[in-house]
Structure 1
Amino acid sequence: MYDAISEWAASHRLTVHDNGTLDLAVHDAAETYRYVLTWNWGLGPTITYVMLNPSTGTATANDATLRNCRAIAQHHGYGSLIVLNLFALRSREPQALYSYPDPIGPATDDALTQLLPLGDTVIVAWGRRHSDLHDRASTVAQLLYKKGVATQCLGINRDGTPRYVFRGSAMEPLASGLGMTVSPCRRNDLGGGVTGPGGVRRSR
């Protein structure tokens, strides 16, 4: 996994930061964008999260969101995680996505396309707010659907969007693809939401 990420980063002339072990963060030269982050803590499969945008987390300093991602992953028996995003712009405040000229980042879609297969489980967790900016949730949902990626989530918001990682407890079971359509994320579901059997939204 780590060699594949490093090779992908090199192909885009991106910078790989590591902590001397198996934790990586891939940025552009100015560190305006973070395209992928990994965190390894032991044996077990790898879980991949697709969230809204990166905040301050790096290969050497994990923020609260990443710590919560790890808690969820550990509870479900995973030994490492990968984080990808709808937008690669690094910002503590999602409102910055609206004012920055290119919040998506030039390599984001390729990161999603090439690096999603590295994980054993894909969790969509971009939340309700801001994910419809530039039609990103729907665009990425379509990408996942076309690639046949079987996604899971941490629960479903009332509007059909997948819950953010702070919504709900790490102890809750993952909402799996069982009984759902091929991919829970459907292009025709507003906001790139999660659908139930036959494309009918489920609410909690």
Structure 2
Amino acid sequence: MRAVVECVPWQPARYRYLLHVALTGSERDTAPHPVLTVIQKNPSLADAKRSDPTAGKVEAWTRRHGFAAIIYVNLFALRSPDPCAVNDVGEAEAIGAENDAAIARACAAADVIVAAWGNPNGIDAARYTARSAAVCRHLEAAGYALHRVGALTRLGFPRHGLHWNGSVPLHRCR
């Protein structure tokens, strides 16, 4: 089972900055276990009331690896099931005014931080590469260790959460 602890905003429309999900229904309810922050590409339709295929896959992997909660944040906070929508607006609008603060807050609350943004998949490659590099620089400057699940993609990006299978292990980035 899953319980949404926080969704910013609670009823997202154009943006979703943060989604915090507690994993319930096991010994995790009484014993302290680590929190996983997952930095993805852009939010699709998952929110306080519904999940989506990526969240389902990430949550299954997270349970198998002993985490008690997941905090989802994204490179771009613009909410759309089609990543190409990021190209239809300016860079600042695609990122979202509160997004960098949400990423910082999620990372501060995490025991482990995982990059899971995958390939650009239609997002302008230069914009995508610049944004992912900027987020990595901010995390590194703040002293956070960034991880990925499994091997990098053929294009050299951390694997998207939808492609986390079985017991694929964590690896430290860089």
The 4+ residue runs of structure 1 with deviation greater than 4 A are: none
Residue identity in the other structure for 2:6: L
Q: Does 1:103 align with 2:103?
A: no
1:153 to 148, 156, 162: 148
Structure number with higher helix proportion:
2
Matched, 1:63 2:63: no
Shift of 1:27: 2.1
Contact 2:4 2:19 in 1 (8 A): no
Larger C-alpha radius of gyration, 1 or 2? 1
**TM-score if structure 2 supplies the norm length?**
0.83
State how many pairs are aligned. 159
Structure 1 residues 22, 58: closer, same or farther in 2, change over 3 A?
closer
Structure 1 unmatched runs, 5+? 1-18, 178-183, 185-194, 196-204
Instruction: Check conservation: 1:132, 1:138, Cα contact below 8 A.
Output: no
Partner residue in 1 for 2:42: 53
% identical aligned pairs: 29
RMSD across aligned positions (CA): 2.1
Structure 2 stretches of 5 or more lacking a match? none
RCO (CA 8 Å, sep 6+): is it higher in 1 or 2?
Answer: 2
Matched position secondary structure for 1:40: strand
- TM-score normalised by L of structure 1: 0.72
Give per-residue Cα distances to partners, 1:50-71, cap 9 Å, x unaligned.
0000000011211111111101
Residue 159 of structure 1 and its aligned partner are, at CA, apart by: 3.1
Cα distance change, pair 54–136 in 1 and its aligned pair in 2 (3 A)? same
Q: 1:80 aligns with which of 69, 85, 96?
A: 69
Report if aligned partners of 2:57, 2:162 keep a CA contact under 8 Å in 1: yes
**Does 1:133 pair with 2:127?**
yes
